[in-house]
Structure 1
Amino acid sequence: MADHTVKGVEPLPEGTLDGSDLRILIVHTRWNFSIVKQLLEGTISTLKSLKVPASSIVIESVPGSFELPIAAHRLLSSAQGASSSQNPAAVSKAFDAAICIGVLIKGSTMHFEYIAESATQGLMRVGLDTGIPVIFGVLTCLTE
């Protein structure tokens, strides 16, 4: 009997997405930055390959994964407020999506579980509260 279970996302056909009108927020952690940096670079490269202009990619950092939800919420909310303002001088267009990147590595205490749960639930809450898609890019690793 063949196993038809497939894990992962199928690649998109070439040229099917055009992100030229998108404004994307990336919030990343500084904790475990040697790994986060590679994820950040891959994210930026992928966005650019999908025609998202570099000027439409806003990058902010926070100390760790626990801070990702509050930072994402504040940045998304402030941009929404600026774009809905009656003031024509408002320069910020609302974000179309946020990508939150971090790396949690399990240690010998329960800290990993608390932070992983808080970041996961918090980022989901940000998406639900703002109505803006929040992409969960936090790796939860059992080993380095």
Structure 2
Amino acid sequence: MAGHGAPDIAPIDCHDLRVAVVAASWHSVVMDGLIAGAQRAFADHKLEAPVVVRVPGVFELPVTAGALAPSYDAVIALGVVIRGGTPHFDYVCNAATDGLTRVSLDHHTPVGFGVLTCDNEQQALDRAGLEGSNEDKGYEAASAALQTAATLKKIRSRGFVG
């Protein structure tokens, strides 16, 4: 299982953060699970009413995350790409990864990477946080972005103590 060795980080109070989710639309069952996982993380971190924006696919995540990043403390990007018989998988995965990394670095805004890159649909279902799933990547991406946003807020206020 890929989640083996994951850190056990307790949720923190993030009620004062402004957060946006940008979610692709392909593979609706998997996407519903990823979004629900992110919502569970928000509840655990005491965050209410994050903005949720839907886009057609994973390729559209970076440009939308870039438009949101200046106005939010964190952006969570959710999507799924399932390998097919053409190089399309590699191009979309690389573009999304590179683009979301660029958004985070250019805007100094954490971007939670909740993009599943799977060989088949079963792998995506196993990671989507659905009943019977082994992992909850929507929760993990949201939690990581919230934890990082809270850390950056402390650093910016010069109140960070390691």
Q: TM-score w.r.t. structure 2 length?
A: 0.70
**1:81-130 CA distance string (max 9 Å, x none):** xxxxxxxxxxxxxx111100000000111100000000000000000111
Unaligned runs of 5+ in 2: 122-162
Q: Which residue of 1 aligns with 2:53?
A: 60
1:9 pairs with 2:6: yes
Alignment of 1:1-144 (within 5 A): 7-13=4-10, 17-54=12-49, 57-77=50-70, 79=71, 95-144=72-121
Alpha-carbon offset, residue 36 of structure 1: 0.9
In structure 2, distance between residues paired with 1:75 and 1:27: 9
How high is the sequence identity, in percent, across the aligned residues? 41
In structure 1, distance between residues paired with 2:33 and 2:80: 11
Select the structure that is richer in helix.
2
The structure-2 alpha-carbon separation of the partners of 1:23 and 1:8, relative to structure 1 and needing over 3 Å to count, comes to farther
Number of paired residues?
119
Q: Secondary structure at the match of 1:125?
A: helix
Structure 1 segments, 4+ long, off by >3 Å, are none
Q: Is the Cα contact below 8 Å between 2:21 and 2:51 reproduced in 1?
A: yes
In structure 2, distance between residues paired with 1:38 and 1:45: 10
RMSD: 1.4
Q: Which has the larger radius of gyration?
A: 1
Q: TM-score w.r.t. structure 1 length?
A: 0.78
**1:4-40 CA distance string (max 9 Å, x none):** xx94422224xx5111111111000001121011010
